[in-house]
A and B are shown apart, each in its own frame.
Chain A
Amino acid sequence: MKKLVVIILTKILYMAGSIMGKGSSLPGKLALKLCPDILARLTLPENIVMITGSNGKTTTAGMINDVLVENGFDVGYNYEGSNQIEGVATLLLRISDLAGRVKKDALVLEVDERYTRYVLKFIKPRYYVITNLYRDQLTRNGHPELVYSIINEGVTDDMHLVLNTDDPLSSMMGMGKDRVTYFGINKNELSTDINTSMYNDGAYCPNCKAKMEYDYYHYNHIGSYHCEACGHRRHDPEFAVTGIDFDEGSFTINGEHKITLNFKSFYNIYNLLAAFTVASLLGVGPDRICASLNGYIVKKERIIEFVTAAGKGMMIISKHENSISYNQSLRYITGQKGDLTAVIIVDSISRKYYTNETSWLWDIDFELLRSDNIRRIILAGKYAYELGFRFKHTGIDENRISIIPDLDDLMKAINDMAVPGGKTFVLTCFSDKQKFIDRVRKWN
């Protein structure tokens, strides 16, 4: 009886919330308060895919959902912003019938890495995808090894793990497990022999802490590693990227399945590869997956194009407090042809909590912008001066750098200073995204 009441109440609250344009976590939050084990009382489909990790989980979950839907699956999927247990509860109670049965072919659940242990108490995924574990929001998370233990607490033998074999930390979850599928990128012409980043989180084996050996790196500490002491190593991936062609804009999985890229970055390839892996495990044929993923457009909120008098521009979301996310965007920019302008905005560090913590700016490889085609660099927002001081240590010609602390001056700066005819790339976080978009609109 209680279950029925909670289900009905949640559905009503959700509908009311939708009309008022409210977020989707509140109904679930109330449901969990009224009936803490409500999720355990639901009858869920067998095909549950759960996705967590530091970077790429929202994009990967979106890709998995889209591939499944395009291939005839009826899917329940929690959209961006509802990846905590409350959001998951809202979704499931919304799509369940009054008896608590969720009649879907599959569930695709993105779960915040810090909430996995709560969600896993009630929901056992058939496939559990961990995209990677990087330095991310350390003010809140402490450090990656802590996040690892939180996630690992919830892992049980009956789950089939889908792991990134190139990441020494998150791949460790597969140790001693029978049901693991690894995905990864094989050595290619972009691989390097040394790690040139500001830090090396792969220097020591995350399992036994002996020094780790690397055969090659893709970026930061992501690559092919092995530990002589305990044997922890990159496993040959069952789903491997065997070729990357950034000129053409495509990559190939297992030597035969080619996917075209709308956004040419390693990042995007890892997300697409994880989606390919999961869809394959769920029985979708490779050609059909490729057809769904070809030219996949990363959600609009993450890449936004705009125009100023100086020419075309593109805003790329790079997460603050996440150096690898920034490095990926920087690599994307430096990989572009022709002269261009780079704009970095750091105005609020987080949209979720207050902090003045900027240590992560010193973890980012801004040195990558030493590239010749980056003609102009604009550092903007409240933390523009600290960025300016950071850039002082990059060896980049200071004549190329402008510091614009007040965002109200930014559009004029781009307009006046950006390389004429060259594209402008703006890097910023969700916390500052809207501030920039509003100013672009006002300017146009």
Chain B
Amino acid sequence: MELRILHLYHDLLNLYGEIGNIKVLSKHLADQGIIVSVQGGSVGDDVDFAAYDFVYIGSGTERNQFVALNDLKRHRDELKAAIDGGLVMLATGNSIELFGRYIRDTDGQTREGLGLFDYHAEWCRERISTDIIYRADFLERDLVGYVNRAGMAYGIDTHLFEVRFGVGANKDSNKEGIRYNNFYGTYVIGPILAKNPHFLEYISRSIIKSKDTEYIYKEIRNENQYRAYETALSELTNRMNSISHK
């Protein structure tokens, strides 16, 4: 099997070690015996979404987020067609705001989003920066990570996660993220696939399945990744309990 990965805006939306997602995923797939190629696609580049088996987009500064948004508008219809057609895609951090209807900044100005989904984002005066534990019905274990963002999302109806610790899509929500077909979007930043072996395996299976439903996925565990995950989960669980007991 050969798989092609696109790291969208690799040089613009890679603020919190997000390159780790690409490193970890491509190695995990290669360990399966799959030939993996990774390409970056950025401002002004010709991008053919139909040519990729997986697309990843990460977090950036608020200004870089808008640079990416303006550029991505060129590809809006092809991207929508690819996602509707089952393209496996992961969006982390503030990149999820690009796919909604609009983004309203702290001065009340709004910028039109790609409008692929029916939610919108509003930036807050105080930046949201916190550790998180989320639960997903499609993962056997909780997800650990961190959010560091300017905005809140409103109007998501197909969530990805339930909040156990930290914040949700907005201050009134105990849900977070967006799921549609094989599109997975979350405000969680950074190398989420490195920190969460179960999510890495889930995404890997999805990519392989979207390419060839007959292909047999091999269970390949990296013990260090699992131990690191257990450390993080136990740290965060202790943190959660110590806060709730105060």
Contacts and interface: CB of A to CB of B under 8 A. Distances in A.
B183 interface: no
Given A199-B19, A383-B231, A356 B224 contact: no
B17 to A, nearest CB: 3
A257 interface: no
Given A203-B11, A355-B131, A362 B190 contact: yes
Contacts of A359: 16-18, 20, 146, 189-191
B64 A209 contact: yes
Interface string A134-155: 0100111011111000000000
A85 interface: no
Contacts of A389: 24, 194, 222, 224-225, 228
A139 B64 CA distance: 19
A356 B236 contact: yes
B25 to A, nearest CB: 11
B163 interface: no
Nearest to B11: A203
Given A142-B129, A356-B131, A359-B146, A211 B43 contact: yes
B148 A138 contact: yes
A9 to B, nearest CB: 33
Interface in A406-424: none
6 contacts: A139-B148, A198-B19, A356-B235, A359-B191, A382-B231, A385-B231
A357 interface: yes
Interface residues of A, number: 37
B7 to A, nearest CB: 12
A306 interface: no
Contacts of B24: 389, 393
A360 B16 contact: yes
Given A211-B44, A362-B190, A389-B228, 20 more contacts: A139-B148, A142-B148, A142-B150, A145-B63, A203-B11, A204-B67, A209-B64, A356-B144, A358-B232, A359-B16, A360-B17, A363-B19, A385-B224, A385-B227, A386-B194, A386-B228, A389-B222, A389-B224, A390-B20, A403-B224
Given A138-B16, A198-B17, A209 B63 contact: yes
B200 to A, nearest CB: 11
B232 A356 contact: yes
A140 to B, nearest CB: 7
A362 B23 CA distance: 9
Contacts of B61: 143-146
A115 to B, nearest CB: 17
Contacts of B27: 392-393
Contacts of B225: 385, 389
Given A145-B61, A393-B23, A356 B146 contact: yes
Nearest to A148: B61
A286 interface: no
Given A143-B15, A204-B64, A383-B228, A362 B131 contact: no
A362 B20 contact: yes
A17 interface: no
Contacts of B189: 359
A99 B16 CA distance: 50
Nearest to B192: A359
Contacts of A143: 15, 61, 148
Contacts of B218: none
B116 interface: no
B120 interface: no
Contacts of B20: 359, 362, 390, 393
The 3 A-B pairs with the shortest beta carbon distances in the complex, nearest first, are: A359-B190, A362-B17, A362-B20
Interface in B164-214: 189-191, 194-195
B132 to A, nearest CB: 10
B95 interface: no
Interface in A95-139: 135, 138-139
B12 A203 contact: yes
Contacts of B43: 204, 211
Given A139-B129, A392-B222, A354 B239 contact: yes
A203 B67 CA distance: 12
A294 B144 CA distance: 49
Given A211-B43, A357-B131, A359-B191, A200 B11 contact: yes
Contacts of A362: 17-20, 23, 190-191, 194
Contacts of A385: 224-225, 227-228, 231
Contact of B127 (A142, A203, A356, A388): A142
Contacts of B64: 204, 209
A361 interface: yes
A144 B191 CA distance: 19
Contacts of B12: 203-204
A392 B144 contact: no
B239 to A, nearest CB: 7
Nearest to B27: A393
A378 to B, nearest CB: 14
Most buried by A among B12, B20, B235: B20
Given A203-B12, A209-B64, A356-B235, A139 B228 contact: no
